[in-house]
């Protein structure tokens, strides 16, 4: 197990893989964060908001240990924004980047939120299992599974693109009550999940503050890379549907609704 008791670090984190712009800056134990509408607006507001956070923290870009960013999977434009901004800032400051999976950030946000809701005790936090599910548009979802044990995250099912009806989770997670499902796809595809899918569903997005909490583990594992390697993670080759494909998907969804039994 890596030693996560690393020295104090300064991290800048960017997460723009969804319709939310999420930024966070850590100076030692102190954290400054910003959240606003992302999507097409992210490329306009990201740099000014980063500069505002840096000013509030009294940091220069050369003071950073690394620029942490959500590499995907996620929205094509958002991923390009995060990668280009992270790369440009890291080049200018001569610091490395820490690419992080956005689905892992979803899992960490869900774990943190659940832990905050529960009353802390003196015992070690139990193993947390999270199935991260993000809306991938085009009638599909991004899915990955993670386990958090003794303060360390482990990926037990790699990120994949799936149809809601074919949603899958690790075979050894036999009991649906043994894991929670976190993401933003629950209302979008309501009524289309597999019959066996009965896990607790939690609304959660990847956030920059989640990336900050993940940064020490990634740093200890040696996952920091040079700025030129700030690359997005794509698991879909096709990023848009034709008009005919959109119409067909809509007709299929309407047909599925019409065939659904009435309670």
Same fold, 10-102+206-229 and 103-203: yes
130 CB burial (10 A radius; 0-12, 13-18, 19+): buried
The pLDDT tens digits of the residues spanning 143-172 come to 999 999 999 999 999 999 999 999 999 999
φ, ψ of residue 27 to 5 degrees: the values are -115, 95
Residue 257: per-residue pLDDT = 45
* Residue-averaged pLDDT of the chain: 87
Average pLDDT of the residues in 76-90: 95
User: Does residue 263 carry a pLDDT above 50?
Assistant: no
What is the CATH number that goes with domain 10-102+206-229?
3.30.420.40
**pLDDT of 244 over the 70 cut:** no
**Which of 187, 175, 184 shows the shortest CA–CA distance to 129?**
175
- The domain limits of the chain are 10-102+206-229, 103-203
Which CATH number, 1.10.287, 3.30.420, 3.40.50, 2.60.40, labels domain 103-203?
Answer: 3.30.420
pTM: 0.85
Give the lowest-confidence range in 30-39, 83-92, 128-137: 30-39
Element (H, E) at 30: strand 30-37
Q: Which residues contact 61 (CB under 8 A, 6 or more apart)?
A: 12, 54, 89, 92, 93, 95
Report how far residue 21's alpha carbon sits from residue 70's, in angstroms, rounded to the nearest whole number.
11
Number of C-alpha atoms within 13 angstroms, CB side, residue 68?
31
Ramachandran quadrant class, 138 (left: phi over 0; alpha: psi -120 to 50; beta: rest):
left
Q: Minimum mean pLDDT among 4-13, 21-30, 70-79, 217-226: which range?
A: 4-13
First to last CA, the chain: 51
Distance CA 191, CA 32 (A): 39
Tokens of 54: 């840096």
For the record, the structure tokens of 42 come out as 């992210």
- pLDDT at position 253, please? 53
Q: Which of 43, 7, 46 is nearest to 26 (CA)?
A: 7
User: How many CB atoms neighbour CB 124 within 10 A?
Assistant: 9
> Is the pLDDT score of 109 beyond 90?
yes
């Amino acid at each position: 197990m890596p030693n996560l008791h690393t020295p104090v670090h300064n991290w800048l984190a960017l997460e723009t893989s969804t319709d939310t712009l999420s930024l966070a800056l850590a100076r030692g134990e102190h954290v400054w964060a910003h959240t606003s509408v992302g999507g097409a607006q992210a490329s306009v507001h990201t740099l000014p908001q980063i500069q505002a956070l840096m000013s509030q923290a009294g940091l220069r870009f050369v003071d950073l240990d690394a620029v942490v960013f959500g590499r995907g999977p996620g929205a094509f434009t958002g991923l390009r924004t995060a990668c280009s901004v992270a790369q440009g800032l890291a080049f200018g400051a001569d610091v490395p980047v820490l690419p992080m999976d956005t689905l892992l950030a979803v899992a960490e946000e869900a774990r943190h939120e659940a832990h905050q809701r529960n009353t802390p005790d003196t015992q070690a936090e139990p193993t947390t299992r999270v199935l991260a599910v993000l809306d991938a548009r085009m009638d599909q979802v991004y899915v990955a599974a993670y386990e958090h044990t003794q303060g360390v995250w482990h990926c037990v099912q790699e990120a994949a693109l799936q149809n809601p009806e074919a949603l899958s989770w690790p075979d050894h997670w036999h009991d649906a009550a043994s894991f929670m499902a976190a993401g933003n796809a629950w209302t979008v595809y309501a009524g289309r999940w597999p019959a066996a899918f009965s896990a607790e569903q939690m609304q959660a997005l990847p956030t920059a503050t989640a990336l900050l909490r993940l940064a020490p583990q990634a740093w200890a594992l040696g996952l920091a890379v040079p700025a030129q390697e700030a690359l997005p993670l794509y698991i879909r080759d096709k990023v848009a549907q034709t008009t005919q494909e959109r119409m067909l998907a809509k007709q299929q969804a309407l047909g599925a609704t019409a065939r659904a039994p009435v309670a």
